[in-house]
Chains A and B, each alone.
Chain A
């Protein structure tokens, strides 16, 4: 990367506080595909000059997959440990790169003593566009391209965020097309509720295939999403359907970075 990503520990050593903490999440930290999205979110933050930091090695799993899998103990252990770190750094505002982290920190941490203003990176992008700090110029043109957005369950239905990611696409002057099952009726990619980490139960087909078939029916050039798990499931689906040449699966952050040539 052309710039250094600041950590909380470094900022604190300099006696500084960031405007916003970027919560990267496990997928964003370790998954190769999601790491690219993580770097792109940093590029956006860097580009607009927001003072931000990451926790780096002090970050740990929010406990989301443990909670959805029924292990409340492990979830609360993770949550309380994370809250101790976040409160120790006096964190007020958090942007996450993952709807699952977003949901957990926003909704489930307050009851355990962690109260923060939490947004998903699509909401950050929406705010930056609204403030005029981010446009879609100077980079790759998406003009006229057919794009469909897949709503991540933990961003959409779970938290009613439907407009923010679409705002990031609207500025592209592209052709936005909706799948039949979109917004509050969106179909899951198949990874939620800890499914990401296990084989699916016996059935007729995999959920991501059902979803990718619906997306491909629209013959889009880009399938957009805002979740690293959806990214894995949708990319796998496109690969299995042998459509990698025609269709790109991209995160809202990646699209924003490309459109602005960051």
Chain B
């Protein structure tokens, strides 16, 4: 009875704390400006099913695709088991679903194969990151916390899978020994191999089985509450992020409505613009970005596919699209903490541009969309880069001198170079 109460309290704490932190994350995302992404629901749903559920964009790199697929399937399918753990935990039952008979054996057996698959995949992931040291996982932004974060996640998953398999091995052994409470249920194709290393004494086996059971469920709640601090948040955000992703051709940049009003007023003095709230042009800080940009930042799992295909990064420039997303999230977290401590209007004198992302980074971008194409969950670093440029150019008039020269030429000559508009058709006179 005591253990049931502890279990229920633990569940309430685990879920409660997560809800509390998730609400803060959602509040942070809502710091961003409005943007309508509720059009074309059918197309959005298909995109989510294909890209997030179906992982279609992962297939571009077959090895990580397969390894990730195992972990993904393991995560989704083994979590069916969590349902049983929850019911057993609350009602003090043991393997409540064993009434399913053959189906139950099939399920438990499949879980075991998946569990060892996840275990191996995570081990290979650790090797890729720490021993082979794949270039994709390095970079200025991948020092300290982001580096440990990835390793913590992989180690935790290995520990959870180990606990799951040892629990099953002990359970099977208890079943064979006819221990009370341990009903005969399940098939254990993988964990049966571990039975040899376990003792034969019933009370020790019960301790091991219970310890693993508790470790597994406590581990899951701990992992859940780790998500808001981790790059691993993508396991949740991948779904809304793909649903709300940009459905337009990638080359189509937004036309700023606030600018349209002013330009129309300039070209046509009789034009009366609609009342719009005064705001700045472009983005200096996270609250100037849209909620989609900010959700993108929480969704990023720092895999580095974007950076590995970025022409600027490949050729040694400072720009790294992954860093753009990580900086945006870090700054958003900082702004969120400021709100918690000092209220919504607090100004800490810092901003995303300059304190996190430098001018050199934003001006190195070729707007080629390789990063957007490469992201397996449709994150758009380019949208943020362009909004930062807009702020620099339109609010501050600060840009590289040659850019200012080009802009001057467009304005005065209708071409980015210093040629006379009168010469525009000269090409037709030559051979």
Contact = CB atoms under 8 A, between A and B. Distances in A.
Contact of A202 (B314, B317, B372): B317
A12 to B, nearest CB: 16
Among A63, A67, A191, A201, find the residue whose CB has the most chain B CB atoms closer than 10 A: A201
Given A39-B428, A190-B366, A193-B367, A70 B389 contact: yes
A201 B318 contact: yes
Contacts of B431: 1, 39
Interface stretch (A86-94, A168-176, A181-189, A216-224): A181-189
Given A70-B389, A203-B315, A195 B366 contact: yes
B196 interface: no
A198 B403 contact: yes
Contact of A30 (B367, B405, B424): B424
Contacts of B368: 153, 157, 188, 192-193
Contact of B260 (A63, A76, A106): A76
B193 interface: no
Given A157-B368, A200-B317, A30 B251 contact: no
A129 interface: no
Interface in B66-123: none
B312 interface: yes
Contact of B311 (A154, A187, A198): A187
A27 B422 CA distance: 15
Interface stretch (B43-51, B206-214, B227-235, B390-398): B390-398
B403 A194 contact: yes
A69 interface: yes
Contacts of A73: 259, 262-263, 394
B427 A39 contact: yes
Most A Cβ at <10 Å: residue of B248, B252, B374, B419: B252
Given A63-B410, A201-B360, A201-B363, A107 B251 contact: yes
A137 interface: no
28 contacts: A5-B428, A29-B415, A29-B419, A30-B419, A57-B421, A57-B425, A70-B282, A70-B393, A71-B393, A77-B266, A77-B411, A78-B410, A80-B267, A103-B252, A157-B369, A158-B250, A160-B249, A185-B370, A185-B373, A187-B314, A197-B416, A201-B360, A201-B364, A203-B312, A203-B317, A206-B315, A207-B311, A211-B311
User: Shortest 5 CB-CB distances between A and B: which pairs?
Assistant: A158-B251, A204-B316, A193-B367, A70-B389, A60-B414
Given A29-B424, A108-B255, 16 more contacts: A1-B430, A5-B425, A30-B417, A61-B414, A73-B259, A80-B264, A153-B367, A157-B370, A157-B372, A159-B249, A185-B60, A187-B314, A192-B368, A197-B405, A202-B318, A202-B360
